[in-house]
Chain A
Amino acid sequence: MEFLIATAVGALTAAGIYLVLRLRTFPVIIGTSLLSYAVNVFLFASGRLALNAPPVLRDGAERYTDPLPQALVLTAIVISFGMTAVVVMIALGSWLSADDDLVDRPAVPESDARRPSLPEGDA
């Protein structure tokens, strides 16, 4: 169980970091989602792993699992879901207005390169 969780967190994080370092927004967004999955599993495990144990008080239960990480994970899931939606929208807007989906800005943005010469051009 511990091995499985640890491997999952490690694999998700590694894949996530690899994807985040890509040049285009789509893999980067997938990468951030993978990282947020890794974090969610990690948070879940931070209360120690207990199998088949209730998180809230119950008659006859001898041991409990820690309920707090579950609440934390729930919050984290909601937030990362919202954030992913936002970043998808912004990346889409960026793609539509710039005609490419590169994360980096071009070395000399056309708008920057053009503008100082504008007075002469117009004159």
Chain B
Amino acid sequence: MSHWIITPVVLPAMLAAILVLMVREHIVVQRALSMAGALALTAISIGLFWQASDGTITLYQLGNWPAPFGIVLVADRLSTLMLLLTTLLAPLVLLYAMGSGWDARGRHFHPLFQFQLMGILGAFLTGDAFNLFVFFEVLLIASYGLMIHSGGKDRLRAGTQYVLYNLLGSTLFLIALGTIYAQTGTLNMADLAGRVAALDPGASAGIRVAAVLLLMVFAIKAAVLPLHFWLPDSYAHAPAPVAALFAIMTKVGAYGIIRVYTLVFPPDLEITQGLFDTWLMPAALLTLGLGMIGVLGAGRIDRLVAFSVIGSMGLLLSAVSVFTPDGIAAALYYAIHSTFATAALFLLVDQIRDRRGAAGPFLVQGRPIEGGALLAGMFFVAAIAMTGLPPLSGFLGKLLILDAAGASPLMWWVWAVVLTGSLVAVVGFSRAGSLIFWKAHQTGPDTDPIDPETAPEVEDDTAQPGSTKGPVAPRPVLPMIAIGGLVAMLIALTVFAGPVNRALTATAAQLFAPEPYIGLVLETPGKKIKNDSHGAADDHADAADHDGAEAGEDH
């Protein structure tokens, strides 16, 4: 049994412990270790992605216990894809955090970042519903710390709301899991698939409640319309690198929906009929509409980007709720695209906020931005991608989604909302861009006499009065490299859209044929315990023997 699958969970956990226990006072060592860890994770993820790219599903039994009893990690195409997406994002975000000095504005940025990675990667890998909850909690508790990193009044208030909202989400998750366990007697996802299918449709009230509750939990994470209230404030007030990393967090919700509702409650299951057509699709379309209206109405550029996240999640989930292989493939393409686009936009917003002096994030006429041309160019590219204009990946993603929506009874609604929403978003983004980058040049020299050296001190009142600032005077290049990296990812996603889409189509096909997954999880033998003994103490040697014997035959 290969142990590589568990390294994305173990490595960040160990690294975070080292960072917080041994080098907590040395920011340089922390940066080096954290970056090395993130890059190692990228390498591991590429390896796992490569391994899964021919359709192989790899199983890891924790403690070598067989499936319904022990916890399993499963690396299939979808898991490794999300793994790769996260670990491509993480080093760039980390680079930005280091370059802009965000990580030094408070304590424990790097350990929390690693714990956050551990939670996200674990959530993508696990094959057990309760374990999914635990990894959700790991990523949430790390995100609480990151969210309020470097403090400040507005940020703490937004952080309180974020934590409370997610606490309620966790409560709901537990209730859903309890209901599922009460109905089926198992929480292993592969095992659940068989047991849910075998339930009597006449007595399915409990499991239907559980299915809806679970969908609500994932909808909270994915910020679907009636449950989206936590997102705009949290994302707008979170430190920029954290907001950029949070770009993957909404996708955890989308991943949960895709995983659970293809495996445990597949689309052809009778007892959950109508869940997507009747509920998720309209909710997703409303989310899309609300996000785009928010983009148009936002008075601050960070809130504008936060609302565009909501809009993009609406678009993503409207593709998911078609629930055909084409829809899922389109949704995955759009998920990759919107992760990078969102992250790039949040980082750009931070740079803009820093350089505009007193105008800060507000969409008012300010002074011209130093180094504005490069920044404006990148904002232009990222905004084109985010709003889905040709030629970038957002347009391709949208096209795939519109194409896949043909299978939905609500097809015309999808087309109408997506296209109108795009138009509104284009207007919103161009208004923001022209106000910040172009109209600034129309102002006379006397409108803003604040000189660039002192301006950040005035504008950044969200940071604690006594907190140390990042270096201001010479603009560091690392942040721009990080943003450039994210934009390059978007361009690469556009250029290699063909191969990527083929891989995603294969991923969706694998999701819609879950038999190999279920078979592998349930039929792989684990450790054997002698029948005549009640204690496990004398079985260690025995189990170890089996470990050795089975290592060869497992895969």
Contacts and interface: CB of A to CB of B under 8 A. Distances in A.
Interface of A: 20, 25, 28-29, 32, 35-36, 39, 42-43, 45-48, 57, 68-69, 72, 75-76, 79-80, 82-84, 86-87, 90-91, 93-94, 97-98, 103-105, 109, 111-112, 115-116, 118-119, 122-123
A13 to B, nearest CB: 9
Q: Which of B134, B170, B174, B462 has the most CB of A within 10 A?
A: B174
Nearest to B357: A119
Interface of B: 130, 134, 137, 140-141, 144-145, 148, 151-154, 156-161, 163-164, 167-168, 170-171, 174-175, 177-179, 181-182, 187, 233, 299-300, 357-360, 362, 364, 366-367, 446-450, 458-459, 461-462, 534
B141 A86 contact: yes
Contacts, number: 136
Contact of A32 (B144, B152, B164, B181): B164
A122 B458 contact: yes
B177 A118 contact: no
B141 A75 contact: no
Contact of A94 (B137, B159, B179): B159
A97 B155 CA distance: 10
Contact of A68 (B158, B170, B181, B366): B181
Contacts of B364: 116
Contact of B141 (A25, A82, A94, A123): A82
A39 B175 contact: yes
B177 A72 contact: yes
A83 B177 CA distance: 19
Contacts of B137: 79, 83
Given A79-B134, A116-B359, A93 B151 contact: yes
B160 A87 contact: yes
A52 to B, nearest CB: 20
A75 B170 contact: no
Contacts of A119: 357-359, 366-367, 447-448, 450
A48 B360 CA distance: 57
A97 B152 contact: yes
Given A98-B157, A123-B448, A87 B163 contact: yes
Contacts of B153: 94, 97-98, 111
Contact of B167 (A69, A72, A87): A87
B159 A90 contact: yes
Given A32-B164, A94-B159, A98-B153, A115 B178 contact: no
Contact of A57 (B177, B357, B359, B534): B534
Contacts of B148: 90, 93
A94 B148 CA distance: 10
B164 A43 contact: no
Contacts of B179: 46
Contact of A36 (B152, B158, B171, B187): B171
